[in-house]
Amino acid sequence: MKYILEYKKFGYESGDEVLIHYWYNGMITPVLIIDKVGRKFSISHNIDESKIKNAPNELISSTDIIDIYRKKIKKK
């Protein structure tokens, strides 16, 4: 039972930026999780780092998520 409680801590939440494999052209792009709908996530491509700005919001499953997006720090 302890394992199940610890596993829930590593889930994705609303407001997280994650990397996905986009189905249309096969590129890996960061997206913003808007909401969790059942077992799926509603995502938006409308963030600065996204390579696909005009893509509509869509539902994806957790298996489509590759990793959490880590922003690069720009050096001065």
CATH number for the region 12-68 comes to 2.30.30.140
Q: Is the dihedral of CA 43, 47, 50, 52 positive or negative?
A: positive
pTM for the whole structure: 0.76
Task: Give the per-residue pLDDT at 3.
Answer: 53
DSSP 23: T
**Beta bridge mates, 41:** 36, 60
pLDDT digits (tens, 9 = 90+) for 20-75: 988 778 889 999 999 999 889 999 999 988 888 788 899 999 888 998 888 777 66
pLDDT of residue 51: 81
Structural domain spans, the chain = 12-68
